[in-house]
A and B are shown apart, each in its own frame.
Chain A
């Protein structure tokens, strides 16, 4: 099966590959998938004033899984927490021209985004510093 140019580009030049310290303030971490299923995504966001100022990923999985998570980090940066929650897997499919057999990679990326956002919100709640300071757009 041939990969799209965009998938190959993300594979060769992954965007925002790396990690933040999980404990760091404003960092939300989402880890989804399982090694037995052949894909695990770790997606992290760094939030300041309700805006995602940085994002990072690490992915164990096929080229499409790597590309989906790499693309997700690009899209997350600059979005508010609410906007980020609206990213849909279908948009990833469209952008990367994923074939039907690879749609689950985009679903996993959407799950990873949601997991990272939830982690961030949970952390913010327990620390008593919800993103009230900024007005959601």
Chain B
């Protein structure tokens, strides 16, 4: 087993070597501009792009023409929200989303709010799921877009997207889904889910960084978007700019591999995740699972370890790459807003660790992680005044803390 261990696969994933192999010729021999219509260099590049587009469309049960390439999911989310609002502003000025979306959606919504758009941020339940009835009740005759993620990036909770899709269709409101964490890991069918726009990206599924896609429905309804980037009219005019052909080809290959391997891979990653969960939670008291017990991404595990602080815990297992909802690990010095939205107290949000099992995680790495986590938590609890007080029977909630 090699150290360090990478167990932060929600953050990004390594490129699959098969993806790199597929990309390489497009840097050198097949370097053409896929928009060049008059010579074989262009045709060759275009063929690579077409094939990738087909693989991507097939995986999500869409038409190849409905795939718009972008620089990544952040751009896709921005294009979906801002593009729809700009295009449909005559129709209304209200959008609905949730409080646990990725920052790319939340911050795009906040930026629209400054321009006068009204945004409803729906709450989620303790497991992180939005109630479809809340979505229905939030819709007004001014609502032009609903944007709800498929699966949460911190806790892995999967939203009831198909149900929300039916409501959106019934009410005639466009439905965008940020599926960045779900595509390639769980089956995604845009017809079944009833989504009109969907964001996803290559680097979360063993493809290269710098390429993502926005699915834009062409029929029933035909979705129109105001572009954010003007230029040569690429991607049906919705996203101008020469396509990064090697990245597009890598994205296509990554998706092709996911399509082939998903049935086996999701079973394997879930088994490793379950072992990690049982190994850690079975060995210690006062550890809490964040997220939904079953409606969750196969590789996701998010746990709060009471009485220890997340960043200190990461430091204790520094040969394992993980992430924490602790304020100390964020730029804002606020603990995870996702965990706060579930009703997790700030103290437990500070104590949370996210594990991300991926394609290349081994059983050996999981066993090592279990062992190291138990030791690190015990070390820190021994050092923790909160643990000591709890052991003495002090109810920490009744203590008057000097909040600083």
Contact = CB atoms under 8 A, between A and B. Distances in A.
Please indicate which of the listed interface residues A8, A41, A66 has the most CB atoms of chain B within 10 Å of its own CB: A66
B312 A40 contact: no
Interface in A94-127: 101, 104, 108
A33 B404 contact: yes
A31 B385 contact: yes
A42 B316 CA distance: 21
B346 interface: yes
Given A60-B308, A61-B309, A35 B401 contact: yes
A4 B147 CA distance: 43
- Which bucket holds chain A's interface residue count? 20 to 34
Contacts of A36: 345-347, 350, 401, 403
Contacts of A3: 315
Interface residues of B, number: 28
Contacts of A38: 309, 326-328, 335, 346-347, 350
Contact of B401 (A40, A42, A63, A65): A40
B402 A62 contact: no
B76 to A, nearest CB: 30
A101 B388 CA distance: 28
A43 to B, nearest CB: 9
A42 B385 contact: yes
Nearest to B387: A60
B379 to A, nearest CB: 9
B311 interface: yes
A35 B404 contact: no
Contacts of B404: 32-34, 37, 104, 108
Q: DSSP class of B's interface residues: helix, strand, loop or mixed?
A: helix
B346 A63 contact: no
Interface string B373-400: 0000000001111111000000010000
A38 B384 CA distance: 12
B307 interface: yes
Given A19-B388, A38-B328, A60-B307, A11 B316 contact: yes
A6 interface: no
Please indicate which of the listed interface residues A14, A19, A61 has the most CB atoms of chain B within 10 Å of its own CB: A61
Interface of A: 3, 8, 11, 14, 17, 19, 31-42, 58-63, 65-66, 101, 104, 108
6 contacts: A17-B382, A35-B345, A35-B350, A38-B346, A60-B308, A63-B315
Given A3-B315, A31-B385, A35-B346, 10 more contacts: A8-B315, A38-B326, A39-B309, A40-B385, A40-B401, A42-B388, A58-B384, A58-B388, A59-B383, A66-B312
Closest 9 CB pairs of A and B: A34-B401, A35-B347, A36-B346, A42-B385, A58-B385, A38-B350, A62-B311, A63-B315, A62-B328
